[in-house]
Amino acid sequence: MSNSRSGFGLVELLVALALGMLVVLGMTQIFSSSREAYLSQRSSAMLQEDARYVLSKLAREIRMAGMFGCLSIDHIVDAPPVFKTPVSWRRGVLRMISSDVGLEASKPDWTVVSDCTTFARAFSGARSSVAPGETAYLLRELYYRFEHGQLKVGPNKTVLLDNVAAFDVSFGVAGSAGEPSVLRYETRLVNGSSLRSIRIGLTLRDRAGRVKDQVYQLEVALRNRLA
């Protein structure tokens, strides 16, 4: 009586190993691609979140730039000279005087007290009390600086945002002081009375290089006519 034995030969074993390797390599490639796609999407989302935070903050402050209360600057007693130029952009520094005090409401740079009829006076710092019928307007002098790939704020140059590839400011101006609509955009503000809007260009860079530079743009109309 003969005993027949069956099993895998060398050729079959090599074929099985090759197919197994192909399957493993395919799954590894799929996992690697999925991981890279996830990391790229995560990096893009983080850049968008950073841009959304900074641009929304800027939008609030721009809308309230040049707002000194009920009366014009000419009627404000003891108004500092910087009130005459509440918005400027020079050498990578955006400066604004805004009544949007944000989280620093307890520490304004100036307080304008007015009865909104005939009287207005500017005081340095905060004003603890006002007379009946008067209103206090809190003002801050804001600085945004683009230096060494960072967007910095305040006189102490506190870092607001890293990985900034570009930060640009341009001004939407009307043809004359009396026209309401924007005629053109200029990189240098010559006549504040013709300013109608401010355009901010922000380019963010992913440090890991997973996504291309993300470019964001914001146009904000001023609520207050500048002198």
CA pair distance 194, 175, nearest whole angstrom: 7
pLDDT band at 4 (very low <50, low <70, confident <90, very high): low
CA pair distance 194, 173, nearest whole angstrom: 5
Residue 102 has pLDDT above 70, yes or no: no
pLDDT mean across residues, the chain: 86
Q: In which element (H, E) is residue 161 found?
A: strand 158-161
> Residue length, the chain?
227
Give the mean model confidence (pLDDT) for residues 38-43: 83
208 by Cβ neighbours in 10 Å (0-12 / 13-18 / 19+) ranks as exposed
CA pair distance 119, 130, nearest whole angstrom: 13
Contacts for 126 with CB less than 8 Å, ≥ 6 apart: 106, 107, 108, 111, 138
Residue 215: the pLDDT is 95
CA pair distance 35, 29, nearest whole angstrom: 10
Residue 163 has pLDDT above 90, yes or no: yes
Copy the structure tokens of residue 34: 């999925």
Over the stretch 12-23, which tens digit does the pLDDT of each residue have?
777 777 777 888
Over the stretch 183-221, which tens digit does the pLDDT of each residue have?
999 988 888 888 999 999 999 999 888 889 999 999 999
Domain ranges of the chain: 44-221
CA pair distance 32, 7, nearest whole angstrom: 36
Residue 168 has pLDDT above 60, yes or no: yes
Residue 227 has pLDDT above 90, yes or no: no
Which residues on neighbouring strands pair with residue 29, listed in sequence order? none
Give the mean model confidence (pLDDT) for residues 113-141: 90
CA distances from 51 to 56, 57, 99, 221 (A): 8, 10, 23, 19
Place of tokens 């307007």: 137
Which residues on neighbouring strands pair with residue 201, listed in sequence order? 168, 217
